[in-house]
Amino acid sequence: MPYSKKPLLALSRCTSLLVLLGGIFSSVNAYGVDEEFINYDQNEIAIVNVTLIDGTGAPPKTNQAVLIKSGHIAAVDSAKDIKISQTTTVIDGTGKTLIPGLVMMHEHMFYPTGNAHYTEMLYSFPRLYLAGGATTVRTAGTTAPYGDLNLRDAINSGKTMGPDIDVTAPYLNGPGLPILKIKSLRDAQDAKNMMQYWDQEGVTSYKAYMHIHQDELAQVLSSAHQRKRKVTGHLCSITYKEAAELGIDNLEHGFFAATDFVKDKKKNQCPAAELHQSLVDLDINAPEVEALISLLVSKNVALTSTLTVFETFTQGRPKAYPLALEALIPQVREQYETRWQKIAQQENATWPIVFKKMMQLEKRFVEAGGTLMAGTDPTGYGGVIAGFSNQRQIELLVEAGFSIQQAIKIATLNGATFLERDTKIGSIEAGKQADLVLIDGELINDTSAIRDMAVVFKHGVGYNVSKIVQQTKSVVGLH
């Protein structure tokens, strides 16, 4: 078509203009080039002399070897017994630790950019999640469902790098939330219609949110379970006890979002102002706490621990890692620093009391036989930065009293099992997908070695972590 200004001016619909501009800028790749970040893509790779934490919760083993063939784990053995051919690429794992790729269950592709606004980080977050060891994530709630769906597909088809994504539908919420991008359900039928639509668009999980009503949640659970999909919830209007009895599969944020202990709580109402104080006052040895844990365990309700996001509100805790802060654009970094200082100067802060108690409850839940999974929730006021926070979450689980092998299991096999993908991912076993993280350092002696990830393998392709991190600076907050 010959170029002329006239038809361009005649266009009345923005969509037509976008299509036209898309043609002009078709050489621009929205995803970026990724080959430069790949360190290993040989068909046969052996990692030898390495300390192995295999994701099953078994004690770590030293002097191990893992053989990768065609993207899968072909063998796991002691270093002296593994069979290596002349064409195998050998990586010496002396002084290093190998863990499974992380399966992170409360992730988002958006980030808080100020004043209750959330902006999509569809460029930087998938990269940082991968560089932070996550080979599978669930996006537990979204403000841009098409962004998450298209990103998942682009990653699956090799157009860009990032973790495998279990895409959660947009939040299923009732009225009362001051976030503009989140819909308020009108009634249970509305929930059913919404789920029908997003099911056709390809989401694979659902999340109920803070203001949903009981009849709507009942509908959500029945629609999801009919489709063999699972539902998680960050609840407030509905107690954990009520949700467990309705048949929910998963609850987010450990016990931090449990309104079960708010006195005179009204049905279907979120006691947002009273929740925190109820946790400050909570006697964690009280019989009602014991009863709630027993109920969740007996109903097989998994909990997702997101200590990372609550740590940012808690006085006396360290700042985000220096490397994580370097990933931020200056404006959001400044907002973060200002808020962090304010919290540091608070008088009579109550978050330290709650943070410690909730850590203890997560530990107790697991001791009672409950399934705990790991997530990071990059929200709050911006101190939870994709990828780096995966590592922080593992450090916090260890601080909560879990052994390193238990913490790794929580962040790998437990999520994989919940997603019903445990025959393929979640642990280092022959036959599984080669999703692995090679760490510089002995994690069994020093938990902070988790910050020194060197190579993240996804489907047997090894990504250079420091290169990704170096080239993803000063962008979070922008895209």
Binding residues for Zn ion (CB under 5 A): 377
**Tally of CB atoms within 10 A around 86:** 4
Per the structure block, which two tokens stand in for 4? Answer: 């002329």
Per the structure block, which two tokens stand in for 466? Answer: 């420091």
Cβ distance to Zn ion smaller for residue 68 or 210: 210
Q: Which residues have CB under 8 Å from 222's CB, separation 6+? A: none
| CA–CA dist 47, 406 (Å, integer) | 23
Residue 108 C-beta: closest distance to Zn ion, Å: 6
Cβ distance to Zn ion smaller for residue 144 or 453: 144
Residue 143 C-beta: closest distance to Zn ion, Å: 10
Q: Is residue 414 within 8 Å of residue 372, measured between CB atoms?
A: yes
**CB-nearest residue to Zn ion:** 377
| CA–CA dist 467, 37 (Å, integer) | 6
Residue 126 C-beta: closest distance to Zn ion, Å: 17
Residue 115 C-beta: closest distance to Zn ion, Å: 18
Cβ distance to Zn ion smaller for residue 304 or 405: 304
Cβ distance to Zn ion smaller for residue 57 or 254: 254
Q: Is residue 106 within 8 Å of residue 427, measured between CB atoms?
A: no
| CA–CA dist 428, 75 (Å, integer) | 9
Cβ distance to Zn ion smaller for residue 183 or 459: 183
Place of tokens 């004043």: 115
Residue 302 C-beta: closest distance to Zn ion, Å: 16
Residue 264 C-beta: closest distance to Zn ion, Å: 28
Residue 285 C-beta: closest distance to Zn ion, Å: 30
Q: Is residue 78 within 8 Å of residue 112, measured between CB atoms?
A: no
Cβ distance to Zn ion smaller for residue 260 or 377: 377
**Best CA proximity match to 372, nearest among 400, 331, 330, 339:** 400
Cβ distance to Zn ion smaller for residue 242 or 377: 377
Grouping H, G, I as helix, E, B as strand and the rest as coil, residue 334 is helix
| CA–CA dist 112, 386 (Å, integer) | 12
Cβ distance to Zn ion smaller for residue 55 or 375: 375
Beta bridge partners of 233: 208, 251
Residue 89 C-beta: closest distance to Zn ion, Å: 39
Cβ distance to Zn ion smaller for residue 107 or 435: 107
**Tally of CB atoms within 10 A around 59:** 10
Helix, strand, coil: what percent of the chain each, to 5? 35, 20, 45
* Interhelix angle 351-367/287-298, nearest 10 degrees: 50
Residue 58 C-beta: closest distance to Zn ion, Å: 31
DSSP string, 85-134: -TT-EEEE-TTEEEEEPEEEEEE-SEEEEETTEEEE-TTHHHHHHHHTTE
Per the structure block, which two tokens stand in for 112? Answer: 């808080």
Residue 367 C-beta: closest distance to Zn ion, Å: 26
Host H or E run for residue 47: strand 44-52
Residue 107 C-beta: closest distance to Zn ion, Å: 8
Residue 97 C-beta: closest distance to Zn ion, Å: 29
User: Which residue blocks in 132-187 are alpha helix, DSSP H?
Assistant: 145-156
CA distances from 10 to 16, 17, 24, 374, 437 (A): 11, 10, 18, 53, 55
Cβ distance to Zn ion smaller for residue 125 or 463: 125
Cβ distance to Zn ion smaller for residue 160 or 389: 389
Place of tokens 């279990």: 166
Cβ distance to Zn ion smaller for residue 233 or 441: 233
**What number of CA atoms fall less than 13 Å from residue 158's CA on the CB side?**
4
